[in-house]
Amino acid sequence: VQKIECVNHCIKNYSKHLHRIKKDTKSVALETRKLLTNQRIKDLTRNAQKAIYANAHGDISQLKHDLQNSVPCSFGNHSKCQTYLCNHVGDTASDNMSQLVSSGGHHPIFGSLNLIVIKSSQLIDNETNNRAELFMSLLARFNMGKRLNLIQRDGFQMRSYLSALRYNVDQSWHHKSWKQYFSCNALVKTILRTTSSTCTAAMEYGKKNECVAVLKFQEKTGKTVERAGLYIDVDHGFLGASPDGNI
Ligand SMILES: [Zn+2]
Ligand SMILES: [Zn+2]
């Protein structure tokens, strides 16, 4: 099993590291921090991303090489740039690279970049988790962000299926499926179905003899038992009870 790294996350982390270098007043020289403008951080991350995209399913050593060169390219030294990555090949008119090196700023920047470089072999397929992330974001909508306890009656499972449907067939998923899963008919059936796996022999007995028990109780005590439905707590709407009868 080989771990494939998510390109988006690598790039995001790279950008985060670069911003951290920019803010590090203790161990990073002022000149470096001045050179590392927000625009330059954008260039650095974009050039690294380009290198990964350009080398997708290609040669790992070329990807490593292109990643390394994304730094001088971003700092205006295009002497070693590749034509498929850069429009300024050979241009060194606004080269800030020597300035960066003399301020020692290349160390932390290459250090952060190296975190991507050492993952090159895993990035080569240019995989992103986007598909998984998209599915999970859909699922989060269906399961209301985990706020409900959906363990009962396969609630989570069903919502996962619905998310998959939504993912696979986009908006049209609900025309048929919503009806299938959420029409009143089906819902009532799921709640009241007697073949439920949670129905034990004792429960079966209870259901059959409920009315017998009520009759006997009335005979014995002389009290009248009225039919009762579902009672819902006014203050705590999630609490409910369905007593067998009301005296
Ligand atoms: Zn990701
Ligand atoms: Zn360049």
Alpha-helical runs (H) found in 80-154: 97-102, 106-117, 120-123, 130-142
Q: Which two tokens stand for residue 11?
A: 């790039």
The whole-number pLDDT of residue 149 equals: 64
Q: Is the dihedral of CA 197, 199, 204, 207 positive or negative?
A: negative
What distance in angstroms lies between residue 81's CA and the mean position of ligand 2's atoms? 5
11-21 burial, b at 16+ Cβ within 10 Å, e below that, comes to beebbebbeeb
Those residues whose beta carbon sits under 5 angstroms from the ion ligand 2 are 73, 78, 81, 86
Q: Is the dihedral of CA 28, 105, 32, 36 positive or negative?
A: negative
Q: Which two tokens stand for residue 167?
A: 């993912």
Q: Which of 5-14, 89-98, 200-209 has the lowest mean pLDDT?
A: 200-209
Question: Which of the ligands is closest to the CA of residue 131?
Answer: 1
The whole-number pLDDT of residue 152 equals: 65
Is a pLDDT exceeding 60 seen at residue 106?
A: yes
> Angle CA(57)–CA(77)–CA(124) in degrees, nearest 5?
10
State the pLDDT confidence band at 67, using cuts at 50, 70 and 90.
Answer: very high
Q: Which two tokens stand for residue 68?
A: 């390394």
The whole-number pLDDT of residue 153 equals: 65
> What value does the mean pLDDT of the chain take?
81
The whole-number pLDDT of residue 169 equals: 64
pLDDT in tens, 26-53: 999 999 999 999 999 999 999 999 998 8
What distance in angstroms lies between residue 94's CA and the mean position of ligand 1's atoms? 34
Is a pLDDT exceeding 80 seen at residue 16?
A: yes
The whole-number pLDDT of residue 6 equals: 77
Question: Which of the ligands is closest to the CA of residue 9?
Answer: 1
Contact between 124 and 111 under an 8 Å Cβ cutoff? The reply is no
The DSSP code sequence of 17-79 is HHHHHHH-TTTS-HHHHHHS-HHHHHHHHHHHHHHHHHTTTS-HHHHHHHHHHHHHHHTT--T
Is a pLDDT exceeding 60 seen at residue 195?
A: no
**Phi, psi at 106, each rounded to 5°:** -70, -25
Is a pLDDT exceeding 60 seen at residue 194?
A: no
What distance in angstroms lies between residue 135's CA and the mean position of ligand 1's atoms? 12
Rounded to the nearest 10°, the torsion over CA 114, 119, 120, 123 is -130
**Mean pLDDT within 77-99:** 93
Is a pLDDT exceeding 80 seen at residue 23?
A: yes
pLDDT in tens, 125-144: 666 656 666 677 777 776 66
The DSSP code sequence of 171-215 is GGHHHHHHHHHHSHHHHHHHHH-TT-TT--HHHHHHHHHHHHHHH
The pLDDT > 70 percentage for the chain reads: 74
Of 222, 218, 14, whose CA–CA distance to 5 is shortest? Answer: 14
The whole-number pLDDT of residue 145 equals: 64
**Mean pLDDT within 3-27:** 88
The whole-number pLDDT of residue 183 equals: 61
Contact between 63 and 121 under an 8 Å Cβ cutoff? The reply is no
Contact between 224 and 247 under an 8 Å Cβ cutoff? The reply is yes
Contact between 22 and 41 under an 8 Å Cβ cutoff? The reply is yes
What distance in angstroms lies between residue 100's CA and the mean position of ligand 2's atoms? 16
Is a pLDDT exceeding 90 seen at residue 3?
A: no
State the pLDDT confidence band at 108, using cuts at 50, 70 and 90.
Answer: very high
**Residue with structure tokens 């005979």?**
219
> Angle CA(18)–CA(24)–CA(30) in degrees, nearest 5?
100
The whole-number pLDDT of residue 177 equals: 59
Question: Which of the ligands is closest to the CA of residue 10?
Answer: 1
Is a pLDDT exceeding 90 seen at residue 17?
A: yes
99-126 burial, b at 16+ Cβ within 10 Å, e below that, comes to ebeebebbebbeebbeebbebbebbbeb
